[in-house]
Amino acid sequence: MSANTDTVERYLDGFRTNDHAQILSCLTDDIEWTVFGAFHLTGKQAYDEAIEGPGWVAPPRLDVVRMVEQDDVVMAELLGAVLDADGGTTRLSMAEVFVMRDGLIAERRAWVIPLTENEYR
């Protein structure tokens, strides 16, 4: 495993346990986070405030389907599930692009799709 993929794995583990300090330790100070169709933010403080998704009551389950790396970019396909405030579970398919700088995540670009019927819809 490269230093970049190791950082991404450590970052994902932080999300799995809702460990803000661990997540933030994987980011540059000028981190940019875009979830397409939802939001864009810049900086660690804004990132910290957005770690828990709206209405989520527990850390997500995140399973890596595959992860690939080229130069300073790590891409990951993830399947996830989150408990929501209504007691239900939302299943998610995610594509994540992590742009790395000096072994830290400088930009995260995410596509998050709720799955309501089956494994692809």
70 burial type by CB count under 10 A (0-12 exposed, 13-18 middle, 19+ buried)? exposed
> Where do the domains of the chain lie?
3-115
As a CATH number, domain 3-115 is 3.10.450.50
* pLDDT bucket at 6, cuts 50 / 70 / 90: very high
Kindly tell me if the per-residue pLDDT of 11 is higher than 90: yes
Regarding pTM above 0.85, the answer is yes
Give the per-residue pLDDT at 58: 81
Buried b (16+ CB within 10 A) or exposed e, 106-116: bbbbbebeeee
DSSP conformation class of 103: T
Pairing of strands 104-115, 89-101: antiparallel
Find out whether 11 and 23 touch, Cβ atoms under 8 Å: yes
Stretch 93-98: mean pLDDT: 98
Q: Which tens digits make up the pLDDT trace of 68-78?
A: 999 999 999 99
Longest dimension (CA), the chain: 42
Give the per-residue pLDDT at 36: 97
Q: Which tens digits make up the pLDDT trace of 41-53?
A: 999 999 999 998 7
Q: Which tens digits make up the pLDDT trace of 16-25?
A: 999 999 999 9
**Rounded-to-integer distance, Cα 35 and Cα 37, Å:** 6
Find out whether 73 and 99 touch, Cβ atoms under 8 Å: yes
**Rounded-to-integer distance, Cα 7 and Cα 27, Å:** 9
